[in-house]
Amino acid sequence: MSKRPDRLPILLLALLASVPETALGHAAFVEADAVRAVRVEGRYATGEPMAGAQVTVFAPADPAEPWRQGQTDADGVFLFVPDGEPGRWAVRLRQAGHGGMAHLDVPADTAAPLVLATGRAAAPSPVQKTVMAACVIWGCIGTALYFRRTRAG
């Protein structure tokens, strides 16, 4: 008695191999491109993110006219990709009377890195701190003298 191998697994494998790809109705195609994006993040002095803040981007060719406008996400982040125009780009972030501006230098060479020109507001200098302290002291003295004055009768 000779045993013949079972042909069913081979037939099933041949049948599955002959099914066209289009029969797989849930296929997905994903493309990824490397781009040089700019990430803008807004935070209050308390560290809380500026969620929903208005963002305005100005291109170097026309710094008076907005190139793109948008809104930060829940983490205070906004992403954009400069269109390759070299020069100094400006990004303004505003929310409820708070905000600031940052500048970004985009080089003509597309392989060169983007350079953040300015970001956070600079801390007050020692001269500015001294002037502010003097103004507060002068205001306290002036207020005390105002309430201390005698009324001429």
| pLDDT < 50 stretches in the chain | 23-25, 118-119, 121
Task: Give the pLDDT confidence score for residue 33 in this predicted structure.
Answer: 65
What confidence score (pLDDT) does residue 112 get?
A: 60
- The answer to whether residue 139 sits within a structural domain is no
Q: Is residue 84 part of a domain?
A: yes
pLDDT score for 44:
85
Tell me, yes or no, whether 113 lies in a domain: yes
138: three-class secondary structure by DSSP? helix
Which residue, among 76, 77, 40, has the nearest Cα to 57 in the 3D structure? 40
Q: Domain of 97?
A: 33-121
Distance CA 95, CA 129 (A): 27
71-80 residue pLDDT tens: 999 999 998 8
DSSP assignment letter at 100: E
Among 121, 85, 122, smallest CA distance to 105 is for 85
Q: Is 114 among the domain residues?
A: yes
Instruction: Identify whether 21 is part of a domain.
Output: no
Helix, coil or strand: residue 83 = coil
Q: How many helices (H) and strands (E) does the chain have?
A: 2, 7
Question: Domain for residue 97, yes or no?
Answer: yes
Please say whether the beta carbons of 56 and 69 come within 8 A. yes
Instruction: Specify the CATH number for the domain of residue 78.
Output: 2.60.40.10
- Count how many domains the chain has: 1
Tell me, yes or no, whether 80 lies in a domain.
yes
How many CB atoms are closer than 10 A to CB 55? 23
Residue 25 forms part of a structural domain: no
Would you state the pLDDT for residue 45?
A: 82
